[in-house]
C-alpha cells in the first residue's frame, strides 16, 4: 500500500462557459522518501492509449510499496481529448510545440505555462505517453537524456533524434522544460489504429512499471530490455492524396526490403490507384503505419520508417 493518495487540481484559466479549466493530478506517496516521478498522457488529445494505461497503472500502483512519489497526470489536454482531436478546439495549436508556455498567451500557451508551473517544473523524472490515433499505430521510444530509463520500457526500436539534422523542427516540446532542468525524461510512442488497444495498453503498463523498477521507485529488479535497435533517422511518409488507403507493409518492427511498397491510395469514385508509396531507404524498419484499410485525407499521418543504415544496438 502507498502511504497516502493526494489529489490536486490546479486551475489553468476560466473558460467562456464559466467553468474552470483544471489539471487533474493524483500523487501516490510512497512509504519511503524518494524522487517525484511525473507520468503524463494526452498532450495530444487524440492519443488516449497513455491515459487508459495511467488508469490501469493507478490500480496497480496504489497497492504497491513505493519509494518517492508518483504524480499521475492522465489527461493533459482534456478539451482536445473529449473531441478526439490532436489540438485544443479553442485555439487549434499544438500544445507540444508551446513549452515552456505563456501565461498571457492563447489557451494552449496558457495550458503549457500551467504545466510548466505545476508539473514539469516540479518533478524529478518525466515519463510522457504518446501513441498513434484512431488511424495509424506506432511503436518506438525516444532516447533523450536518460538512456537506461528509455531502454527499460522494453521496446524493440528506440529513436535518438539528431538535433543537428532536425534543427528547430521539434522545439517547444516538454523536453524544453525537463531536459533544460536536467530532469531524466522519456517519451513513449505506442498504440493506436482501428484495432483492439488492450494489448498496447497492457504493454504500456508493463513497460512503465519496469521503468519505475529501473528508477528505484518500485523495489523489484528491473527486467533487462530485449535486443534493441537505435535509429537516428526516421522518415515520415504521408499519403499526398485522399482516398481509400490500402496497407502493403509488414508488421511494426519488421525490416523492409529496399524501397519496399508501404501503401497505396485508391480513388473511392473511379477505382484508380492514385498513389503508391515506398520505403525511402535501402534498409528500413517499420515504426508506424495503418494496420487496416481505411479512408484517409490528403496529408494525413501515414507511415514512419526508420533507417537501419547508421543504426546501432
Ligand atoms: Zn503525441
ω into 100 cis (within 30 of 0): yes
Q: How far, in Å, from the CA of 132 to the mean position of ligand 1?
A: 7
At 170 the pLDDT is 75
- Is residue 260 domain-shared with residue 302, that is, in the same domain? yes
Which of 212, 229, 246 corresponds to the end of one domain?
229
At 130 the pLDDT is 98
**In this prediction, what percent of the chain has a pLDDT beyond 90?**
96
3-state secondary structure of 281: coil
Q: Answer yes or no: is 72 within a domain.
A: yes
- Is residue 132 domain-shared with residue 261, that is, in the same domain? no
Q: How far, in Å, from the CA of 130 to the mean position of ligand 1?
A: 4
Q: Is 18 within 8 Å of 120 (Cβ atoms)? A: no
Question: Does residue 12 register a pLDDT over 70?
Answer: yes
Q: Answer yes or no: is 105 within a domain.
A: yes
- Is residue 54 domain-shared with residue 196, that is, in the same domain? yes
Question: Does residue 168 register a pLDDT over 50?
Answer: no
Question: Does residue 25 register a pLDDT over 50?
Answer: yes
Q: How far, in Å, from the CA of 44 to the mean position of ligand 1?
A: 5
Determine the average pLDDT of the residues in 279-300: 97
Which of 199, 229, 259 corresponds to the end of one domain?
229
Question: Which tens digits make up the pLDDT trace of 109-118?
Answer: 999 999 999 9
Q: Answer yes or no: is 312 within a domain.
A: no
Q: How far, in Å, from the CA of 41 to the mean position of ligand 1?
A: 9
CA dist list (Å): 141 to 75, 234, 263, 302: 20, 12, 24, 18
Q: Answer yes or no: is 313 within a domain.
A: no
Q: How far, in Å, from the CA of 33 to the mean position of ligand 1?
A: 32
Question: Does residue 15 register a pLDDT over 70?
Answer: yes
- Is residue 85 domain-shared with residue 222, that is, in the same domain? yes
C-alpha cell at position 86: 490532436
- Is residue 163 domain-shared with residue 246, that is, in the same domain? no
- Is residue 111 domain-shared with residue 46, that is, in the same domain? yes
DSSP 115-174: HIIIIITT-SEEEEEE---SS-EEEEEE--S-HHHHHHT--SEEE---HHHHTTTTTTST
Q: Is 49 within 8 Å of 89 (Cβ atoms)? A: no
- Is residue 72 domain-shared with residue 204, that is, in the same domain? yes
3-state secondary structure of 199: helix
C-alpha cell at position 210: 519496469
Q: Answer yes or no: is 28 within a domain.
A: yes
Q: How far, in Å, from the CA of 220 to the mean position of ligand 1?
A: 30
**Which residues fall inside 5 Å of ion ligand 1, going by CB?**
44, 47, 130
At 248 the pLDDT is 98
Average pLDDT of every residue of the chain = 96
Which of 229, 248, 282 corresponds to the end of one domain?
229
Of 155, 147, 133, 130, residue with least CA distance to 285 = 155
Q: How far, in Å, from the CA of 273 to the mean position of ligand 1?
A: 31
Question: Does residue 266 register a pLDDT over 50?
Answer: yes
At 291 the pLDDT is 97
- Is residue 179 domain-shared with residue 149, that is, in the same domain? yes
Question: Which tens digits make up the pLDDT trace of 66-108?
Answer: 999 999 999 999 999 999 999 999 999 999 999 999 999 999 9
Q: How far, in Å, from the CA of 42 to the mean position of ligand 1?
A: 7
Q: Answer yes or no: is 90 within a domain.
A: yes
pLDDT class for 165, splitting at 50, 70, 90?
Answer: low
- Tally of structural domains, the chain: 2
Determine the average pLDDT of the residues in 22-43: 97
At 166 the pLDDT is 54
Q: Answer yes or no: is 285 within a domain.
A: yes
The whole model's pTM is what?
0.96
- Is residue 279 domain-shared with residue 239, that is, in the same domain? yes
Strand ranges (E), the chain? 4-8, 11-14, 20-22, 25-29, 32-41, 67-73, 125-130, 137-142, 157-159, 185-191, 229-231, 234-237, 243-247, 255-256, 261-266, 273-278, 284-289, 294-296, 303-307
Q: How far, in Å, from the CA of 47 to the mean position of ligand 1?
A: 6
- Is residue 133 domain-shared with residue 278, that is, in the same domain? no
At 54 the pLDDT is 98
CATH at residue 251: 2.40.50.100
Q: How far, in Å, from the CA of 188 to the mean position of ligand 1?
A: 9
- Is residue 281 domain-shared with residue 168, that is, in the same domain? no
- Is residue 41 domain-shared with residue 122, that is, in the same domain? yes
CATH at residue 92: 3.40.630.10
Q: How far, in Å, from the CA of 175 to the mean position of ligand 1?
A: 13
Q: Answer yes or no: is 193 within a domain.
A: yes
Domain that holds residue 298: 234-307
Question: Does residue 17 register a pLDDT over 70?
Answer: yes
Amino acid at each position: 500500500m502507498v502511504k497516502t493518495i493526494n489529489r490536486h487540481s490546479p486551475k489553468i484559466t476560466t473558460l467562456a462557459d464559466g467553468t474552470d479549466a483544471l489539471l487533474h493530478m493524483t500523487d501516490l506517496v510512497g512509504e519511503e522518501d524518494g524522487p517525484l516521478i511525473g507520468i503524463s498522457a494526452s498532450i495530444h488529445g487524440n492519443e488516449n492509449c497513455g491515459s487508459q494505461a495511467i488508469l490501469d497503472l493507478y490500480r496497480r500502483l496504489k497497492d504497491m510499496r513505493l519509494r518517492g512519489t508518483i504524480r499521475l497526470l492522465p489527461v493533459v489536454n482534456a478539451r482536445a481529448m473529449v473531441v478526439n482531436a490532436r489540438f485544443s478546439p479553442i485555439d487549434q495549436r499544438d500544445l507540444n510545440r508551446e513549452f515552456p508556455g505563456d501565461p498571457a498567451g492563447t489557451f494552449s500557451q496558457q495550458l503549457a505555462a500551467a504545466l510548466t508551473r505545476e508539473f514539469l517544473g516540479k518533478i524529478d523524472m518525466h515519463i510522457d505517453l504518446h501513441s498513434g490515433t484512431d488511424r495509424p499505430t506506432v511503436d518506438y521510444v525516444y532516447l533523450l537524456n536518460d538512456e537506461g530509463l528509455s531502454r527499460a520500457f522494453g521496446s524493440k526500436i528506440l529513436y535518438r533524434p539528431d538535433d543537428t539534422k532536425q534543427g528547430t523542427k521539434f522545439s517547444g516540446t516538454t523536453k524544453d522544460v525537463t531536459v533544460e532542468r536536467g530532469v531524466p525524461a522519456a517519451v513513449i510512442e505506442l498504440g493506436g489504429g482501428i484495432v483492439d488497444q488492450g494489448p498496447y495498453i497492457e504493454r504500456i503498463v508493463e513497460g512503465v512499471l519496469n521503468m519505475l523498477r529501473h528508477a528505484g521507485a518500485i523495489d523489484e529488479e528491473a527486467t533487462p530490455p530485449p535486443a534493441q535497435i537505435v535509429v537516428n533517422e526516421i522518415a515520415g511518409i504521408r499519403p499526398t492524396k485522399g482516398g481509400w488507403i490500402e496497407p502493403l507493409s509488414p508488421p511494426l518492427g519488421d525490416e523492409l526490403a529496399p524501397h519496399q511498397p508501404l501503401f497505396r491510395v485508391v480513388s473511392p469514385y473511379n477505382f484508380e490507384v492514385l498513389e503508391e508509396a515506398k520505403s525511402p531507404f535501402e534498409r528500413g524498419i517499420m515504426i508506424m503505419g495503418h494496420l487496416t484499410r481505411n479512408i484517409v485525407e490528403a496529408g494525413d499521418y501515414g507511415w514512419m520508417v526508420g533507417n537501419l543504415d547508421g543504426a546501432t544496438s
